[in-house]
Chain A
Amino acid sequence: MNVFSFCDIDFKKPKNHLPSLETPFGTRSIRDSLAYCNRCGLCLQQCPFYVLTQEETFSPRGRNQALLLLIEGKLNLEKNKKQFLRLATTCSLCGRCTQSCPGKIPTPQHLLELRRLLKVRFLPKTLQLLLQWRADFPTLFYGLTQSGLFLRRWGVVKLLRFSGLANLLGCSWLHQIDRMIPPTKKAIRKKWSILKKEQEEKPSLIYLPSLETELFLPDIAISAWTLATQKHRPVLWTRTPTGLFEYVYGNVRKARQQLKKLITRHAQLQKGTLPLVTDSMDVYNYLKQAANLFENYPGWKRKAVQFSQQVLFVTDLFPQKKINVGAIATPVALDTSALFKTENTPSKNTQKILSTLFLKNFVYCDDRQADLPAFGYGFVSKNNANQLRLLAFRPLVKKEIKTLFVFSGWALMEAFAAGKKHAPQIQAMHIAQLNG
């Protein structure tokens, strides 16, 4: 393994970086991984930011080259910090570049390392703090968000926004979040709170809802739960943090700790043989690559590999018999955006399922057309996000799409907010809802 990596640059905090990356073609140090870029440019037109800006600086190729020059000492970080910040903050970590790359270079992972090096967080400070507490004080966090949602229903959030108090309290992001959360019926909220209490002693499957599903989208959680219980009974619901938030916005060390807890909990239940299903493609991709975080810990790496083999996505639980698509408005399209998107089986299977169910009414959009790149954990600045959403919705409107299926709760929330503005006729649905 090459000794060069980001560890050499940020030597004060070596544990904040990954020593090496798992790629489809083996384990590589970050420098080696960067050096695999042949500058062929096949990633250019796949990157939403490049499509938007048409500038090399905002292309995956440009980002990789800049990082390589940084590691080789040909570019100075302190002197060019502003430019590097721009590079780092204009990547939504969607991973489409990796998909189109002949060498499968994990550019989003490189960018994450750069973000850690620059100590960039992107999130508003109050939101950042709130999410950081989540892992340490889960009950407090849960209580706070539920109270927030309760107050929102009573119009308090609107009041805070219009009175300007939200800005004073450093919570201007409330406006954005408020627009993104779709209203939920009381009956559904109640049903989910009952289901969550049903903790099973001898489960045959573990359901790990994503943070956004659990808090804001109970209808998806119920759909996923129902899907899980059709095949496996009883199902255990878990709220153990995965460490994904820390991995993207915090540091690797903390993410590793969270993941260790999850793996340990999973291993305790029936010797780690239980399948674990999640409703978010972001979480799925992260858990599938769990071994990435344990390169220097062989024992844990082995456990992480074993654990990731048990991870499933909701579509893996779809029944074999024909699904009744009922009142789903056609034509339909599939948004495959996800964090660190890889060419994974669930994504391909879902495309197959949709094309079987909807036949010609399933409009196949290639990656460039169908993705909603600003979604999920890859937060980008508000201005950029608006432009990217518009870019994503234009082809959907052009193809007269009526229903858009998505792979994660974040994507659904973003599609909901953007759809309201750009294309109210398009209904966004999580893929788990396909089963009713």
Chain B
Amino acid sequence: MRKLSPAFLKQCAKIIGKENILTDDVSLALYSYDCSLSHTKPEGVLLIRKAEWLAPLVTLLYQYKIPFVPRASATNHAGGCTPLNGGVILNLTHLNHILEINTAQEYAWVEPGVVTAHLTEALASYGFFYAPDPASSTVCTIGGNFAQNASGARCMKYGGTLNHVLEADVILPNGEPLHLSLQEPGADLLGLLAGSEGTLGLITRLKVKILPLAKHIKTFLVPFPSLQESIQAVTDLVAQGILPRCVEALDQSTIQAIENFAHAGYPIAPAVLLFELDGDEEQINKETQLLQDICSRHHALDFKMAEEETEREKLWKARRSAYAAMAQLAPNVLVGDGTVPRSELPNALQKIRQLLDEHHLRACLLFHAGDGNFHPQIVFNGQNKQEVIQVKNVLKQILKTCVDCQGTLSGEHGIGVEKRSLMTYQYDKQTLDLFACIKHATDPDNLANPLKILPVHYEEEAKNASFPAEYQVIHDTLKEEKPFRIVGTNSRLGTKESSLFSTRRFNRILEIDTTNYVATAQTGVLVNDLIQTLSAQHLFCSWAPSAGTLGGAFASGCMPAIYQHILGVEAFLPDGSFIRYGGKFVKNAAGYPLTRLLAGSQGEWALITQLTFRIFASPVPVAKEKPFKSFQWNTWSKALKKELDPKGIFK
């Protein structure tokens, strides 16, 4: 194994002190793992006790070209914290201070090592809460949540970590500090950093959104005669305009396994849903009535309701004991993570159960029914190599099933090292190239958490993307390599340049899916036309009425509140390659969030052709339109521009 050079160690000691550098065998072995099956030893462990140490330290690492992996509680399930290319582990657990809580403006500044549950506890005394609640919230950290874009059960209503981070202080892999904010004009680079698994830089401070605690919460336990019926009930509930705080689901085998362990009194039914509603009393009572009606319409076998904290806790008991129930069955448990559109859940789950039965594996299937994210927990014996290989293969097949069902490889656990070989199954070559470009522009020496997310050799395996014939004109224009400016109706930019390319000609609303509550439209569609079409079907969206196009509203940066509702995107890059990202699923932690790279990008590095976004059955707060401001460049965005558009084709 390589060793850190004495010269580096000497200089490093000057910054962080000798006592904070660990190079002994035991320490190296203890920082070689996370919650996944991956193990790799680092060359050193650096204990970061002060945030100020990070910038000079990363600069030093950059000078010596030493790879680094940021690590906090290491609860990652995909091997995101293992140092594949050696180098050092930057242990951030000491950065665990809540710096500021501002209840008037509803935000909190925290360091990345703050444990999620500790923030929730601190906020509770002020009558506030932090919405993302990953299952490991008692131990995982906010920094880790942001790096993985973790979400948890409440995601359906409140969204993932990405939607709750407002500002951040980051350090780029070359040691340059940078302040990123959602409010700054230009591409949403803060969003791009979410889910980047530490491959694009380090976070030293985060400003997170906090919300007032719900006055009333009610929990419901409803068994159904079939999975299909249960999922249909959720769809109908959403169709009524009700967004529950959480909708957790368990299938029959899972309930059986949990009941044997926890004896929580869950009914043994083909499917059990656990709903939670929050809000004011009147609203909850109304929604409860509707929920009861919907459930009985779908032949619910029972309808248990709990309002008091202790009663609610009883209902949650079995759901929370799932991992423990599995953990006591065999030495080890592998927790998977995949997401499919909600409508595909019954189909996907049936296939996965079949797959598990074929391989004689014991597993429980838990899923967040609201957003189509599920976590198979497979029991195996880690000491039996054959069994480990089998379990890994089955998990890969499960994830492929997700992609086959129009889903994604990861909803919240990330790609890390365990799933990176499957990236070619989900993404085509051009999209993977774009991921590689982003990484190369930000970290040309591949120092920040190297060899993660992207497969090492994907060029031959990945398929080429094909684009619809109507976009041939874009492709031809780009091949001419003549610079031009992208516009929609030119309402915001108001430019009088001659070399303009308008997306207005691509003006079709391609799909309005009222099962998943998702719509897909070309970027040339006028926002007002979209609102009109939707309202004719009694549907709503959060786009603010505007004379401009969807693409304009999205790429101009005038409606940052809309970003959280954009689920998928298709676009052309300056070199003529066509990329596809996202889909009808709410959660996606596979690869860099390209929707955020293109949001507010003002046509600097992509020509967006199509957007997939959430729609609603009842009126939702409309994104406020801000006045147009031109792109504010920083070193990172400049590097991205240079890498993505070296010839300056997009003006």
Residues of A within 8 A of B (CB): 24-25, 32, 35-36, 38-42, 44-45, 54-57, 62, 65-66, 69, 74-76, 79-80, 83-84, 87, 102-104
Contact = CB atoms under 8 A, between A and B. Distances in A.
A103 B328 contact: yes
B346 interface: no
Given A38-B333, A55-B93, A83 B27 contact: yes
Interface in B19-36: 22, 24-27, 29-31, 33-35
A74 B136 CA distance: 29
A163 B30 CA distance: 46
B214 to A, nearest CB: 22
A45 B119 CA distance: 14
Nearest to B326: A102
Given A32-B331, A42-B136, A45-B115, A57 B35 contact: no
B34 A39 contact: yes
Given A54-B94, A55-B91, A102-B328, A65 B115 contact: no
B176 to A, nearest CB: 27
A83 B93 CA distance: 20
Contacts of A45: 115, 117, 138-139
Contacts of B24: 80, 83
Interface in B306-346: 323-324, 326-328, 331-333
Given A57-B26, A57-B30, A66-B29, A38 B74 contact: no
Given A54-B113, A57-B27, A65-B30, 16 more contacts: A24-B328, A35-B332, A39-B33, A40-B136, A44-B73, A45-B139, A56-B30, A56-B31, A57-B30, A66-B26, A76-B25, A80-B25, A83-B24, A83-B26, A84-B26, A102-B326
A363 to B, nearest CB: 14
9 contacts: A36-B332, A39-B33, A41-B75, A42-B136, A45-B117, A57-B26, A69-B29, A75-B25, A102-B324
Interface in B124-181: 136, 138-140
A54 B96 contact: yes
B632 interface: no
Contacts, number: 87
Instruction: Indicate the size class of the contact surface on chain B.
Output: 35 or more
Contacts of A102: 323-324, 326-328
A45 B324 CA distance: 17
Contacts of A32: 331
A24 B327 CA distance: 12
A104 B74 contact: no
A41 B327 contact: no
A65 B327 contact: no
B284 interface: no
Nearest to A2: B383
A75 B96 CA distance: 31
Nearest to A369: B121
Given A44-B73, A56-B91, A84-B26, A38 B115 contact: no
Contacts of A35: 331-332, 382-383
Binding site of A, secondary structure by majority: helix, strand, loop or mixed?
loop
B30 A66 contact: yes
Contact of A41 (B25, B74, B332, B333): B74
A25 B25 CA distance: 33
Contacts of B305: none
B290 interface: no
B500 interface: no
A75 B74 CA distance: 21
Given A35-B383, A44-B139, A83 B25 contact: yes
B32 to A, nearest CB: 9
Closest 7 pairs between A and B when the two form their complex, measured CB to CB: A102-B324, A83-B26, A102-B327, A54-B93, A103-B327, A62-B30, A25-B328
B25 A79 contact: yes
Contacts of A76: 25
Contact of B138 (A36, A42, A103): A42
Contacts of B383: 35
Interface in B35-88: 35, 47, 73-75
A36 B331 contact: yes
Contacts of B31: 56
Interface string B604-621: 000000000000000000
Nearest to A4: B383
Contact of B75 (A40, A55, A75): A40
A32 B138 CA distance: 27
A368 B324 CA distance: 20
Which one of A38, A79, A104 has the greatest number of beta carbons of chain B within 10 Å?
A38
Nearest to A40: B35
B68 to A, nearest CB: 16
Contacts of B140: 41
A104 B115 CA distance: 23
Contacts of B327: 36, 38, 102-103
Contacts of A24: 328
A272 to B, nearest CB: 32
Nearest to B96: A54
A416 to B, nearest CB: 29
Nearest to B117: A45
A56 B26 CA distance: 10
